[in-house]
């Protein structure tokens, strides 16, 4: 759901130049006053705002106004920041007063366009390439060739006069039926094909060319749907009658009174881009497929996808022996249509505004130019409490099925270029119907509308009568109301408006306000069920989907009672302007600015992003946006009393104005007429004053709420700054935080000491077994002890140790040392001749050199030192182990 951030900004409010785009001039207000007491205008759709980028075209009465919203916003903000609020109050001393008070409205970014229309403009329809603008009154259609924006940026008080063409000067006139819808064909070459639908169910296709004036005078194709509904063969004449329309009563004229028509988007799949959906006021829905101009430019994927589906249909009918003759005829007609298309060599036409080149085809003539009228559609699962006889449709909005590019590109190496949203969505066409009571009916085309033609004329008249084809049906998925019973107006005309952020969301403009509707909650879940391979429990899941929460809807704007009707909402998303919805009454704009939709889309499609953004702290909103209050029109409307007095002075009762008042029938008649005029004005003024009084009371309540919220915010600030206590000295926030940290540290130290005490008590109170590491360590200590001190097993008889123990080796070394010392002493004594029995001269063989003796002694001492160090190290290790 879009979240409203603010309503009409200052650059669209009075006295800014942006407000002059919507306010009514003096001529228009006097004309509306005259209409009020004269012939009442016929109700119809009011689409008086068209968009071209940041530029908008607004129809007010018979005039057309142009404005660049981005320029108006920037210039207003610049002047507001420079001059300040005081300079705007004292405008007579300001140099910028001419921008607000000049009669001709000579302001940059704003211009008045003069039109040749003779009645109030009802609808503005922008062409796909934004170079033509269709201007519709109740009965006439005018085509405006839009100039470049550079020609409109000029400070000129004179109205701008662009090139206008009258479409069908002998066709769309006041003596003929009213024009209900004007649609630019999605497959027209560079957006030059226009389809008009009149109230008497006549569809005309116009292929416009600025180089040929004749293209604006006659339509290339005209189809009378009433004749086509009763047609039996292709050879019949279904063109509209050139003579004046028959005003007599006929059942077809009553049942086939057109309320609205619609084309799906160009990037839709299947036959959708060439299918015209027509909604009748009585509640019936018809489809006309294929409806094409003489020259048409399909998207790159349209013809290949249709070729695949037609070939599959022909193969299925040929392989099915039980296929009906009607199915075989339809498959053959579609094959003839595609064969005619395949035999053509497309003409390459340069695209407009830097787009890719277009392949232009001629409309196939086989099996026929005029298709079969499919309908009226029956509504399956229609609510039982709904009375179809009482439903009066006002508008239709069709969302085409998604392009099935996966089947088309199966087995292909190259990938087609496509938009981000192309190929995503629902594989069924969604038809949305809107009635006078504000009821919205969401229907699904389960069977799928395909191209159909009437059968050819048979040569044998004696052919038996064939049964008519089965009646097509639409599945009613959901029905809901957007208006309360007290808000329903019989003369109201609700309208659909598309949403640029999503193809499955739209806006509904009705007399009571604007409602936002989104089909996204169930569209993608339903598509997952349709594409799923598992059929187990599919019926149960779809039943839960249908009975669960359906479309999201929210009233985003409520119109005050007694105000003029709203223009169809125009949704705009621009980097400079933001995301907002623009509408207008007869005097004032209505704008609703939303939060950036990209964030909402990311949160909707990514669950992880939802979790990440959910933890972010959101700032508190100290105020809630509310609609701008406009003064009721009755307080600004000119009184009709002076006009009535002028008529009285020049009428047949003028002698009464110059004589004394007398009681007579003529005087009573004059007073009765005057009372009617005054009573109508007094009632509207009373309602306006009551509305103003209620608004003043509401403002008082809102002011109290604002004061309460301001007090709450002040208390929070005082608590943060430490100024919440008046008796005690103020304490800074830093000191409060430090004191809190100190208390936390003390508490942590206390808990740590208690935990250590408990651990010690627990270790003393419980005895547990040794772990594997502790057991291994004890075995190592015992082994070292036995290796040094010896063990009882070594002293047993018959035990042979594998290696000498260190203490045994130590004893052996000591004995060797003593023996060596004894030998050394004996040799020394024999050398010195201390003994009597020693020979006088020793024998040469027993003499040991001094160097050898010293070396041997050094070796013995080294060995003794090593053994001593080894014994000391072992003793030290044992002492450490015993201490540990």
Q: Could you report the per-residue pLDDT of 86-145, keeping only the tens digit for each?
A: 444 343 444 444 444 433 344 567 888 999 999 999 999 999 999 999 999 999 999 999
Does position 435 have pLDDT exceeding 90, yes or no? yes
Mean pLDDT of 674-678: 85
| pLDDT value of residue 423 | 56
What does pLDDT average to over the chain? 80
pLDDT at 653 over 60: yes
Phi, psi of 712 (to 5 degrees): -60, -40
Alpha-carbon distance 41 to 120, whole Å? 10
The whole-number average pLDDT for the span 559-573 is 86
All residues at 6 or more sequence positions from 272 whose CB lies less than 8 Å from its CB, including other chains: 264, 265, 398, 400, 401, 429, 449
Residue written as tokens 């009705």?
510
What CATH code is assigned to 4-229+264-411+421-458+468-630? 2.130.10.10
220's torsion region: left (phi>0), alpha (psi -120 to 50) or beta? alpha
Tokens of 189: 């070459």
pLDDT of 687 over the 70 cut: yes
pLDDT of residue 153: 77
pLDDT-derived band at 23, boundaries 50, 70, 90: confident
Question: Percentage of residues in the chain with pLDDT exceeding 70?
Answer: 77
At residue 747, the pLDDT reads 93
Per-residue pLDDT reduced to its tens digit, 371-427: 999 989 999 877 654 555 567 899 999 999 988 766 565 545 455 555 545 557 888
Of residues 764 and 396, more confidently modeled = 396
pLDDT value at 712 more than 90 = no
pLDDT value at position 385? 46
Q: Which of 435-444, 533-542, 762-771 has the highest mean pLDDT?
A: 435-444
Task: Output the pLDDT for position 398.
Answer: 96
Q: Average pLDDT in the 724-735 region? A: 65
- pLDDT greater than 80 at residue 876: yes
pTM: 0.72
Alpha carbon distance 84, 91 (integer Å): 11
Q: Is the peptide bond before 367 cis (omega within 30 degrees of 0)?
A: yes
Entry field: residues in the chain = 884
With a cut of 60, say whether residue 343 has pLDDT above it: yes
Q: What value does the mean pLDDT take over residues 259-267?
A: 93
**pLDDT score for 167:** 94
pLDDT for position 38 = 46
pLDDT of residue 92: 40
Mean pLDDT of 242-256: 58
| Range name among 317-331, 653-667, 832-846 with the lowest pLDDT average | 832-846
Strand 163-167: give its sheet, edge to edge: 123-126, 132-136, 141-145, 163-167
pLDDT band at 883 (very low <50, low <70, confident <90, very high): low
Q: What pLDDT does 90 receive? A: 40
CA distances from 273 to 107, 204, 289 (A): 42, 17, 9
- The pLDDT of residue 673 is 86
Per-residue tokens: 142: 């005018």
Confidence band (pLDDT; 50, 70, 90) for 880?
confident
Tell the burial category of 134 from Cβ atoms under 10 Å away from its Cβ (0-12, 13-18, 19+): buried
The Cα 288–Cα 195 span in angstroms is 12
- Whether pLDDT at 156 is above 50: yes
pLDDT mean over 319-345: 90
């Amino acid at each position: 759901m879009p979240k409203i951030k603010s309503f009409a900004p200052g650059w669209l409010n009075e006295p800014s130049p942006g407000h002059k785009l919507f306010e009514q001039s003096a001529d228009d207000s006097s004309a509306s006053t005259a209409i009020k007491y004269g012939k009442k205008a016929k109700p119809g759709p009011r689409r008086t705002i068209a968009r071209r980028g940041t530029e908008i075209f607004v129809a007010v009465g018979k005039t057309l106004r142009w404005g660049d919203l981005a320029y108006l916003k920037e210039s207003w903000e610049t002047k507001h920041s420079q001059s300040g609020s005081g300079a705007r109050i004292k405008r007579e001393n300001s140099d910028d007063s001419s921008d607000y008070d000049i009669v001709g409205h000579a302001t940059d970014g704003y211009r008045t366009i003069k039109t040749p229309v003779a009645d109030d403009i009802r609808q503005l329809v922008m062409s796909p390439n934004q170079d033509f603008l269709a201007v519709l009154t109740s009965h006439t259609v005018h085509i405006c060739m839009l100039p470049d924006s550079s020609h409109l940026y000029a400070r000129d008080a004179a109205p701008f006069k662009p090139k206008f063409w009258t479409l069908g000067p002998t066709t769309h006139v006041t003596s003929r039926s009213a024009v209900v819808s004007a649609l630019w064909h999605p497959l027209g070459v560079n957006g030059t094909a226009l389809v008009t639908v009149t109230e008497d169910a006549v569809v005309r296709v116009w292929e416009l060319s600025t180089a040929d004036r004749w293209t604006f005078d006659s339509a290339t194709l005209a189809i009378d749907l009433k004749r086509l509904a009763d047609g039996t063969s292709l050879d019949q004449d279904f063109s509209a009658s050139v003579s004046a329309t028959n005003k007599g009563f006929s059942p077809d004229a009553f049942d086939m009174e057109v309320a609205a028509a619609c084309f799906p988007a160009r990037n839709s799949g299947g036959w959708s881009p060439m299918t015209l959906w027509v909604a009748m006021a009585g509640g019936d829905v018809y489809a006309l497929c294929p409806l094409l101009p003489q020259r048409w430019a399909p998207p790159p994927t349209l013809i290949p996808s249709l070729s695949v589906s037609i070939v599959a249909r022909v193969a299925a009918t040929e392989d099915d022996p039980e296929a009906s003759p009607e199915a075989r005829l339809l498959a053959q007609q579609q094959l003839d249509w595609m064969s005619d298309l395949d035999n053509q060599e497309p003409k390459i036409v340069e695209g407009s505004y830097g787009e890719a080149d277009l392949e232009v085809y001629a409309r196939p003539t086989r099996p026929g130019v005029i298709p079969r009228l499919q309908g009226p559609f029956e509504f399956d699962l229609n609510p039982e409490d709904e009375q179809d006889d009482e439903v009066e449709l006002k508008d239709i909005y069709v969302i085409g099925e998604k392009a099935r590019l996966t089947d088309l590109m199966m087995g292909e190496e190259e990938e087609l270029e496509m938009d981000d949203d192309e190929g995503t969505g629902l594989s069924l066409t969604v038809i949305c119907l809107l009635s006078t009571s504000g009821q919205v009916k969401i229907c699904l085309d389960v069977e799928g509308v395909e191209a159909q033609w009437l059968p050819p004329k048979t040569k044998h008249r004696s052919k038996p009568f064939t049964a008519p084809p089965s009646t097509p049906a639409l599945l009613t998925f959901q029905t809901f109301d957007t208006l309360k019973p007290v808000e329903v107006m019989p003369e109201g005309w609700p309208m659909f408006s598309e949403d640029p952020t999503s193809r499955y969301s739209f806006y509904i403009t009705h007399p009571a306000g604007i409602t936002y509707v989104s089909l996204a909650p169930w569209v993608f879940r339903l598509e997952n069920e349709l594409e799923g391979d598992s059929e187990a429990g599919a019926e149960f899941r779809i039943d839960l989907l249908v009975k669960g929460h359906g479309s999201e809807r929210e009233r985003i704007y409520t119109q005050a009672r007694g105000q003029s009707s709203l223009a169809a909402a125009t949704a705009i998303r621009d980097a400079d302007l933001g995301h907002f919805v623009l509408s207008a009454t007869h005097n004032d704009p209505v704008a609703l600015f939303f939060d950036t939709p990209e964030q909402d889309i990311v949160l909707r499609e990514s669950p992880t992003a939802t979790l990440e953004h959910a933890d972010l702290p959101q700032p508190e909103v100290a105020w809630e946006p509310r609609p701008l209050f406009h003064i009721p029109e009755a307080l600004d409307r000119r009184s009709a009393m002076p006009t009535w007095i002028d008529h009285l002075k020049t009428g047949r009762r003028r002698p009464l104005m110059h004589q004394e008042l007398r009681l007579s029938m003529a005087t009573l008649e004059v007073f009765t007429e005057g009372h009617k005029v005054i009573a109508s004005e007094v009632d509207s003024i009373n309602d306006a004053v009551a509305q103003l009084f209620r608004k003043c009371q509401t403002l008082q309540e809102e002011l109290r709420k604002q004061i309460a919220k301001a007090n709450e915010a002040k208390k929070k600030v005082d608590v943060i700054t430490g100024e919440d206590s008046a008796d005690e000295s103020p304490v800074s926030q830093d000191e409060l935080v430090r004191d809190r940290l100190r208390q936390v540290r003390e508490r942590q130290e206390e808990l740590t000491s208690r935990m250590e005490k408990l651990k010690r008590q627990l270790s003393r109170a419980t005895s547990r077994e040794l772990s594997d590491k502790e057991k291994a360590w004890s075995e190592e200590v015992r082994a070292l002890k036995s290796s040094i001190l010896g063990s009882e097993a070594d002293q047993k008889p018959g035990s042979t140790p594998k290696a000498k123990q260190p203490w045994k080796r130590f004893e052996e070394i000591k004995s060797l040392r003593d023996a060596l010392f004894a030998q050394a002493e004996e040799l020394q004594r024999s050398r010195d001749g201390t003994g009597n029995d020693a020979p006088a001269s020793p024998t040469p063989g027993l003499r040991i050199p001094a160097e050898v003796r010293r070396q041997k002694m050094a070796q013995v001492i080294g060995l003794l030192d090593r053994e001593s160090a080894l014994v000391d190290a072992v003793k030290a290790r044992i002492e450490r182990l015993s201490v540990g």
